[in-house]
Amino acid sequence: MNDQGRGEFTRALSRSSAPKPSNGAVRRSNGAGQEPVLAALDLGTNNCRLLIAVPSGSGFRVIDAFSRIVRLGQGLQKHRKLSEDAMERTLQALKICARKMAKRKVTLSRVVATEACRQARNCDDFLERVAAETELDIEIISTREEAELALAGCVPLFDPEIPNALVFDIGGGSTELVWHRREERETRRNGRGALDAISLPFGVVTLAERHGGDRFDRATYRRMVDESRSALDAFEARFDIGAAIRDGAVQMVGTSGTVTTLAGIRMRLRRYDRDRVDGTYLDFGEMEEIAERLASVGFDERAAMPCIGQERADLVVAGCAILQGICERWPVGRLRVADRGLREGILFDLLERAAGH
């Protein structure tokens, strides 16, 4: 992570009106005289993901990582509760994360949870169990902070010649989108900052469950696209993003398993490779062609495709529908693919704290 990326992050959050995390959100461990070791853990509706890093130059260097599909939010839309199976799967993944953090002697960490824990009626009981069995103190963050952290992680991918950016993160239970106006950030004086965010109350898990699980006909897929697109109408009406797009003044960055999966398919990767995918571009025409092809085949055929597999085969179509809805609403023409986001945003914040800023 370079100086420009870290500086953009710091300035963006300093102008934002969103509340900063409390001091209690960050856990410090006894590491007197030790080089800071930072950890960011993101517990989402579908995935549990950990990054452990150390400062390096003006940024950080990842020394360990973990990612597992846990489907914490499975069935949540129907029952409004976390199921026993989902909690057990997630707890096992969190135990692995806790062991990795202990082995690496993490000195500064932040562990956050998003939509599934925001919605579940029994979430407090689950978090108490996690704390008792793993000593991880999980903080449920707001949709606004989730969007801003995802933005902060993606800023190093921005084209400095394009003044405005749409950044989105298609999650398991919600979809966050940020409208980031870098030109205005330097000129506005009303104290509001130049970040505006929207959180759609659905993601790949909730949309797939609502529209039939793992099999979708063409009409159902189109309904999912239309639902996603129409959910963005009020945001467009408020900011007239389309006018900036017509002026060529908007770039789009997507961070989610859906976007990285489609990029891997487009690149014909036999197995997923983060280093090749992160930072690449997807043309909207390519994206739409791949998405509609995935929607037209069955579960088994999707599961056999490289970069998808059994664990993603029933969710990737819902993700494609959300992605296509975003791209139809705002026809930028291409998007930059980010295999980064919330965890990297947390690490940038921890770097600032470790430096005493």
pLDDT tens track for 254-298: 998 899 999 999 999 988 888 899 999 999 999 999 998 998 888
Would you say the CATH fold of 144-337 matches that of 22-140?
yes
Span of 18-27, 38-47, 143-152, 303-312 with lowest mean pLDDT: 18-27
Give kind and range of the element (H or E) at residue 123. helix 123-134
What residues does each domain of the chain span? 22-140, 144-337
CA distances from 14 to 20, 158, 257, 349 (A): 9, 18, 29, 11
Question: Which pLDDT score, from 0 to 100, does residue 14 have?
Answer: 35
User: Residue 239 — pLDDT band, cuts 50, 70, 90?
Assistant: very high
Q: How far is CA 241 from CA 26, 125, 180, 238, 247, in A?
A: 35, 42, 11, 8, 10
> Taking 70 as the threshold, does the pLDDT of residue 23 lie above it?
no
Superfamily (CATH) of domain 144-337 = Exopolyphosphatase. Domain 2 (3.30.420.150)
pTM of the model: 0.80
Q: Residue 109 belongs to what H/E stretch?
A: strand 108-113
| Band of residue 124 on the pLDDT scale cut at 50, 70, 90 | very high
- What was the pLDDT predicted at 16? 37
Instruction: Report DSSP letters for 4-61, one per residue.
Output: HHHHHHHHHHHH--SPPPPGGGSEE---TTSPP-EEEEEE-SSEEEEEEEEEETTEEE
| Distance, CA of 108 to chain centre | 21
pLDDT at 35: 86
In this prediction, residue 31 has a pLDDT band, given cuts at 50, 70 and 90, of low
pLDDT band, residue 218 (cuts 50/70/90): confident
CATH second-level architecture of 22-140? 2-Layer Sandwich (3.30)
